[in-house]
Structure 1
Amino acid sequence: MITVPPGFGDALGDGAPAWVATLPALAEEVCARWDLVPDGEVLHGFVAVVLPVRRADGTPAVLKLTWRDEETEHEGLALRLWDGRGVVRLLDHDGERGALLLERLDPARTLEHAPIGVALDVIGGLLRDLRVPAPPEVRRAGVDDLAASAMASTVSKPLLDAAVAMARDLAADIGDTLVNGDLHYGNVLAGEREPWLMIDPKPRAGDPEFCLIPLLWNRFGELGGPAAMWRRFDALVDVAGLDAEKAHGWALARAVSAAFWALEAGLPDFGAMSGAVAGWLFAGRGRARGGAAPPTAD
């Protein structure tokens, strides 16, 4: 039925090799149960394999088999609640097996390669429009305990103190919107039903502003410096109708958290990138409250 790509699942953690070994049989079982016919080569991301299929009536779709953890376990629930509005449509779902049947999009066309102005307008619109109450089983948005991080010495104390304070204050008054903690340009694909549709949500309950930081560090090479980052930040806040101060706070806290995680995970390039964004956000910490922006140059 399927051949699992070499190396897939190597970084997923305990139990992953055994789960990967079940995927060919699982794909065969689910295809038989949902009356699906394979229709292309297997694709994969970090936590899932995707098999193009056709339904009994000939409709193209994809079968996604995903590693189940706290980030992915409520993907089907979130897709059902968003109900195809700017998001890939969920056609069927088996939560126990981590199987999702989804409408087929074009994986070769993402916002990763669209002009940045187009990408910001599309994703800003998603942040504005995809606001439904989070169900109680979805975990709250937040960051790791920054003060307790073993890597706390890798950033300046003022930056760490600011991130800790912002994370604490935001968590104390967090909203209950269903949000995608991993919304970025590569996870918005071209479709036929709508021009662009979001895929692969990591559902959280919280503030829409929580989602902004991946949109700053993705396509990082196009920034060139802090002035371009702030232009991107402003465009997203404006299109999405975000609270600028709250967006700044979540972005700073998540950037520092990501820098710690990257160093612990042995990803120095991502650590340097997220650390740079954290530094730029810290330098402009009065800006989101209406204060003067610090001098910047690209």
Structure 2
Amino acid sequence: MNDVTARFVDERQRRRLVRRFGDHVVDWLAGLPSVVEKLAAQWRLTVEGPAPHGRTSVVLYVRRADDTEGVLKLSPDGGLAVAEAGLLRMWGGSRRVPDVWALDAGHGAILMERVEGDTVAAGGVVPPMETIGGLIARLHGVEVSPAQRAELRPVTARVQFLFDRWSRERSEGPAAEIVPAALMHRGSARARDLANGEVDVVPLHGDLHPGNVIDGGPRGLVVLDPQACLGDGAVDAVDWVLWKATDLTEVERRVGVLSQAMAVDGDRLLEWARAFAPCMAVARANRGQVGSPEFDLLLNLCRVPA
């Protein structure tokens, strides 16, 4: 990685991108400075420096000619950028997502509004489930045209991707000795059954965890980084059912509040949580977070027979 690229991407992010997309990302990163220079000229931007990155992109803080603060997001996969921009624009009327100002599909680049604030994950405080349920319901309630729906991949594809990813993470990390493979297989089968249903089918965020929600202060909660798909609306609430929960009573309470706020079936939401519990257990095990009430709860949830 050359010195110019290193201004935008640290070694940790480089490893993330290579793991996600493969070794060809190294060439993409080498050409990134010239792409950023071209887009800055095209959109009249001043590049201020790197912003927190996701698993699929490089994100830079920028300022437009009129002095408004923005974010330039670049992905090695132009299709991901197009899908994300489309979903953010579709949800724009909700005011629960950043405004998209420009898209360059050829360079996998999105220019969007900068929303100030920390993510919910960084804050570390579990918001009221009524607030989260209302946020998700507002996104799912946006009117979507048939053409827009046709552009969204089915949630079955997202489920397959996630279980492939976490099965690989399990086999390559400490979780291999802690989370039985049988629990991953059971969770995958559960999730596939749920994903193949035709109940409450809506445009989904697909990755709505606390690290992808910003507390924007007066702006309210703002959602980032959608992995656009179409399917059962209950799946978007799974992370909120389980995040920092330490016992089944708390899980069931959250399911009750969320399912009512979102107008989805509570039993189905709990089944989605059981399905993804082994993936979350793998994540904790690989970070050395075992032996806690949160970890034990995840294992107990995914051990319950279907």
- What TM-score range do you get, normalising by the shorter chain? 0.7 to 0.9
Structure 1: runs of 5+ lacking an equivalent: 286-298
- Tell me the residue number matched to 2:152: 138
Would the aligned equivalents of 2:136 and 2:262 in 1 still touch at CA under 8 Å? Answer: yes
Distance 2:183 2:302 in 1: 13
Any residues of structure 2 matched to 1:256-275 within 5 Å, and which?
A: 256=278, 267=286, 269=288
Identity %: 25
Q: Is structure 2 residue 106 aligned with structure 1 residue 96?
A: yes
- Tell me the residue number matched to 1:292: none
Q: Measured at CA, do residues 175 and 229 of structure 1 come closer, stay the same or move farther in structure 2, by a change above 3 Å? A: closer
Would the aligned equivalents of 1:139 and 1:205 in 2 still touch at CA under 8 Å? Answer: yes
AA aligned to 2:189 is: V
More divergent stretch after superposition (205-214 vs 9-18): 9-18
> How far does residue 159 in structure 1 lie from its aligned partner after superposition?
9.0
Distance 2:264 2:25 in 1: 38
TM-score under structure 2 length normalisation: 0.74
AA aligned to 2:271 is: G
Q: SS at the partner of 2:189? A: helix
Distance 1:130 1:232 in 2: 19
Cα deviation, 1:64-94, whole Å, max 9, x if unaligned, reads 1123277655101101111152111111111
Distance 2:155 2:303 in 1: 21
Q: Is structure 2 residue 193 aligned with structure 1 residue 168?
A: yes
Q: Is structure 2 residue 27 aligned with structure 1 residue 18?
A: yes
More divergent stretch after superposition (160-169 vs 209-218): 160-169
Distance 1:37 1:88 in 2: 19
Q: Measured at CA, do residues 100 and 255 of structure 1 come closer, stay the same or move farther in structure 2, by a change above 3 Å? A: same
Q: Measured at CA, do residues 100 and 249 of structure 1 come closer, stay the same or move farther in structure 2, by a change above 3 Å? A: same
- Tell me the residue number matched to 2:40: 31
Out of 209, 227, 237, the position equivalent to 2:234 is: 209
- Tell me the residue number matched to 2:212: 187
Distance 2:298 2:201 in 1: 27
Following TM superposition, the consecutive aligned residue runs of length 4 or more in structure 1 with deviations greater than 6 angstroms are 149-153, 156-159, 270-275
More helix by percentage? 2
Cα deviation, 1:98-126, whole Å, max 9, x if unaligned, reads 111111111x42223264244x3332112
Q: SS at the partner of 1:64? A: strand
Q: SS at the partner of 1:58? A: coil
**Aligned length, in residue pairs:** 275
Distance 2:8 2:299 in 1: 37
> How far does residue 17 in structure 1 lie from its aligned partner after superposition?
1.3
Q: SS at the partner of 2:62? A: strand
Distance 1:226 1:71 in 2: 36
Distance 2:133 2:299 in 1: 21
Q: Is structure 2 residue 131 aligned with structure 1 residue 125?
A: no
- Tell me the residue number matched to 1:280: 301
Cα deviation, 1:214-260, whole Å, max 9, x if unaligned, reads 22343x3xx33222232233232232222212212222223345657
> How far does residue 180 in structure 1 lie from its aligned partner after superposition?
0.8
Distance 1:17 1:158 in 2: 35
Would the aligned equivalents of 2:242 and 2:273 in 1 still touch at CA under 8 Å? Answer: no
Q: Measured at CA, do residues 194 and 164 of structure 1 come closer, stay the same or move farther in structure 2, by a change above 3 Å? A: same
Distance 2:278 2:303 in 1: 10
Distance 2:137 2:151 in 1: 23
Would the aligned equivalents of 2:207 and 2:227 in 1 still touch at CA under 8 Å? Answer: yes
